[in-house]
Amino acid sequence: MHTIDTISHLRDYLWQAKLEHKVIAFVPTMGNLHEGHLQLIDRALEEADLVVASIFVNPLQFGPREDFNGYPRTFMADQEKLMSRGCHVLFTPTVDEMYPDTKISSTIVKVPHLDHLLCGATRPGHFTGVATVVSKLFGIVQPDVAIFGLKDFQQFLVIQQMTSDLCLPVRIIGAAIARAENGLALSSRNGYLSTSELQQAAQLQASLVAARLALESGNADMQTIEEEAQQALEGAGFRRDYFTICRQQDLQPATKEDKQLAIVAAAYLGGARLIDNIRFTLP
């Protein structure tokens, strides 16, 4: 695996692959890699001749009181994991390399109909930071295909919309959520949880499954289903953020007529804010 930290060296390296018409798949990450990320690499290897991963903790997507400084940086372990999984190229730019003049971006990419909802309401500016850095990374790597985990379903929709609106020739693939044995979605932020909190955290997926079963059994009282889920989460030690039954395509609140649904949730446990979702079609 080649590890490259400048845009110009990466472009030089990828130039040959592009001349040879190799299919390039891209997996952007912020590092602190777990099995979920590595499954994105597996998927990328199925799709392409050359797999590029990036590790960049993007300051633009963190709020002033969020964990940018404390975000775990585990470069050596990440490099090892990517190498053993068969990744071909690792791009690890510095903040100066990505945002040379100002440490932030003067051009931003905003996806207005999605970026203020749900996680965007709790984390103002977050999705603008994500859309901006991902469009920059797409410009640098120029992949044919990019793989994102569906745990961040709102992020996935933002990136899909941004790619389509900016006419970027990148196919976006959403990969299934990787879970621990107790159902907890794998996340870099699970590292903030104690052993007992890791057990309690299983309630997040359990609440999503219970809400789905209620809807599938014909219960159409969405407000009550959401409130019961919030209470179950509080009972397991979580603090509320949101638990919402929405339309899958645009995350607007679902009505009784909607069939393609996503139940999306975020909640605080100990020092972590966890997110998860479940997507399905009602008969």
Active site residue 21: no
30 forms part of the interface with ligand PAF (CB under 6 A) = yes
Specify whether the CB–CB gap between 154 and 115 falls below 8 A: no
Which structure tokens are listed for 174? Answer: 């959403």
CA distance 84 to 26: 17
CA 119 to chain centroid, in Å, comes to: 12
Stretch that binds ligand PAF, among 27-35, 64-72, 94-102, 105-113 (CB under 6 A): 27-35
Measured distance between the N- and C-terminal CA atoms of the chain, rounded to whole angstroms: 47
Q: Of the candidates 4, 33, 52, 133, which one interacts with ligand PAF according to CB under 6 A?
A: 133
Which structure tokens are listed for 145? Answer: 């295909």
Q: Residue 124 or 253: which CB sits closer to ligand PAF?
A: 124
Which of positions 256-275 make contact with ligand PAF (CB under 6 A)? none
Instruction: Single out the residue of 236, 250, 111, 256 nearest to residue 264, CA to CA.
Output: 250
Q: Residue 163 or 200: which CB sits closer to ligand PAF?
A: 163
Q: How far is CA 85 from CA 45, 51, 82, 118, 184, in A?
A: 9, 11, 5, 34, 23
59 forms part of the interface with ligand PAF (CB under 6 A) = no
Stretch that binds ligand PAF, among 22-30, 92-100, 196-204, 218-226 (CB under 6 A): 22-30
Stretch that binds ligand PAF, among 126-134, 192-200, 209-217, 226-234 (CB under 6 A): 126-134
3-class DSSP state for residue 39? helix
Q: Of the candidates 10, 24, 33, 58, which one interacts with ligand PAF according to CB under 6 A?
A: 58
CA distance 124 to 119: 8
Stretch that binds ligand PAF, among 13-21, 26-34, 117-125, 163-171 (CB under 6 A): 26-34
Torsion of CA 270, 275, 281, 283, to 10 degrees: 10
CA distance 149 to 175: 5
Q: Cβ 248 to ligand PAF, closest distance in Å?
A: 19
Q: Of the candidates 115, 144, 152, 197, which one interacts with ligand PAF according to CB under 6 A?
A: 152
Q: Residue 54 or 248: which CB sits closer to ligand PAF?
A: 54
Q: Cβ 41 to ligand PAF, closest distance in Å?
A: 13
CA distance 181 to 179: 6
Q: Cβ 159 to ligand PAF, closest distance in Å?
A: 7
Residue with nearest beta carbon to ligand PAF: 28
2, 37, 113, 126: the active-site residue: 37
Which residues form the catalytic set? 37
